Amino acid sequence: MLSLNRVSKSYKVGTFGGKELVAVRDVSFDVDEGEVVSLIGESGSGKTTIGKMILKLVEISRGSITCDGTDVAGIHGGAVKAYYRHVQGVFQDPFSSYNPIFKADRVFSMIRSEYFADMARSEWSDKIEAALRAVTLEPDQVLNKYPHQLSGGQLQRLLVARALLLDLKFLVADEIISMLDASTRIDVLNLLADLKSRGMGILFITHDLSLGNYISEKTVILRRGAIVEMGATEKVFGNPTHPYTKVLITSVPQLHKKWADVEAEIRARGGDDSGTCLFHQAYPPTAGPAAADAPTLVKVEDDHYVGCFDLGQGICRVA
C-alpha cells in the first residue's frame, strides 16, 4: 500500500524567503495495489506536487509517505534505486521525456544499465518485446525510431512499457493523456485499466472529472492544496457534498447544454460557497481538538468524506 499521512509541502517565497507558500496541506489518502485513485483539481491545486513527493522529486515538509510500510522520506542511497523499481511516474508531456537527438528506445537501455546489466542480450530483447506488446505497441513500429517519428500516444505508451520492465507496484500517472488527441486518449485509459487488473496501483492525476470517473474506484478532490472531498468514485460523483465538487461537476461540458445554461445552474445553487459547512458542524472551531491533531475531513457516509466549506477564506483550521 502507498499511504500519505497528513502530507504538507511549503516553499519559502518573497524577499530573502521571508514568507511561506503552502502548496499542499495535510493531505491523507491511500493507494492499494490493483486500485486506481483519481486525484482531481484545478491547475495550481497541488496535484503535481503530491506526485513529485511520492516520486522523491520534491521533499516533504511535514507528514509522511510510506510504501508497504517503508518511510519514503527516509530512503537514501542505494535504497532509492530499489524504491524506483516498485514506484515510477509518467508525466504530462511525453516529448519532454526524450532527447530528440537519440532514438526513443534509448529509455530502455538506461533501465538496463541500472537494473539488468547482467542480463543476456537475447533475454533483454524478449523482455522489451513483451513490455511493448503489453502496451499494445508493435516492436518493429517503434524501436529504432526518433521521438519526432512517433505520435504522442506511442511515446506515452513507451514510457509505460519502460516502467513495466521493472517490478512495478505503483504508477503515478500525471496528466498523461491531456496532450493526446481524443482518439488516442481512450487507448491509454484502457491501458491503465489493464495494468490495474494485473495488480498495479495507479494514482491518476487529472483536472478532467470525466476521465477520473471513467477509470477510478476512489476519487480525491483537491483545492488550494487541501482535500475537500474524498471517497468511492460513485459516491463522490453521485452525491457531491462539497460546494467546490458540485461546481466542478456542473461545469463539465455537455453536448446538450450551452455555457449560459451551466452558469444559470451554478447561480441557482447559490454559487460555489452555498450550504452549511458539515465539517465545522462536526468540529466547531471553539470545541475542536488541538490544531496539530485536528481532523481534516468529516464522514458523510460510508467511504465518503468532506472537508471545510469556507471557500472564500481558503482552508480553515480547527482552532
Check whether residue 281 and residue 217 sit in a common domain.
no
**Closest by CA position to 194, among listed 275, 135, 124, 109:** 135
Residue of higher predicted confidence among 173 and 20: 173
Kindly indicate the confidence band of residue 319, based on its pLDDT and cuts at 50, 70 and 90: very low
Residue 211: CB atoms within 10 A of its CB come to 21
Handedness of CA 54, 221, 292, 312 (dihedral sign): positive
| Domain edge (last residue) among 205, 232, 259 | 232
Instruction: Kindly report the CATH number assigned to the domain that includes residue 63.
Output: 3.40.50.300
Check whether residue 223 and residue 261 sit in a common domain.
no
Check whether residue 194 and residue 314 sit in a common domain.
no
Number of independent structural domains in the chain: 2
Q: Are strands 19-31 and 2-13 parallel, antiparallel or unpaired?
A: antiparallel
Check whether residue 156 and residue 296 sit in a common domain.
no
Supply the range of the domain harboring residue 48: 2-232
Burial class from Cβ neighbours inside 10 Å (0-12, 13-18, 19+) for residue 125 reads middle
Check whether residue 12 and residue 116 sit in a common domain.
yes
Check whether residue 95 and residue 12 sit in a common domain.
yes
Q: pLDDT per residue over 187-234, tens digit each?
A: 788 888 888 988 999 999 998 888 888 889 999 999 989 999 999 999
Check whether residue 115 and residue 245 sit in a common domain.
no
Are 111 and 193 contacting, i.e. CB atoms less than 8 angstroms apart? Answer: no
* Inter-CA distances, 266 with 64, 184, 244, 277, Å: 37, 32, 11, 18
- For the whole model, what pTM was predicted? 0.84
**Helical ranges in 119-204 per DSSP H:** 121-134, 139-142, 152-164, 182-197
What are the phi and psi torsion angles at 188 (to 5°)?
A: -70, -40
Check whether residue 270 and residue 131 sit in a common domain.
no
Check whether residue 221 and residue 243 sit in a common domain.
no
